[in-house]
Amino acid sequence: MEKMKGLQALILAMVMVMAIATTDAQSICNMPASGLMACKPAVTPPNPPPPTSTCCSALSHADMRCLCSYKNSKLLPSLGIDPNLAMKLPSLCKLPHPANC
* CA–CA distances in Å: residue 15 to residues 18, 19, 32: 5, 6, 16
Q: Average of pLDDT values for 12-23?
A: 48
Task: Give the residues across from 28 on adjacent strands.
Answer: 31
Burial of 8 (0-12, 13-18, 19+ CB in 10 A): exposed
Q: What is the DSSP code (8-state) at residue 40?
A: G
Q: Over the stretch 28-63, which tens digit does the pLDDT of each residue have?
A: 899 999 999 999 999 999 999 999 999 999 999 999
Query: Could you say which architecture CATH assigns to the domain 2-92?
Result: Orthogonal Bundle (1.10)
Q: Is the pLDDT of residue 4 over 60?
A: no
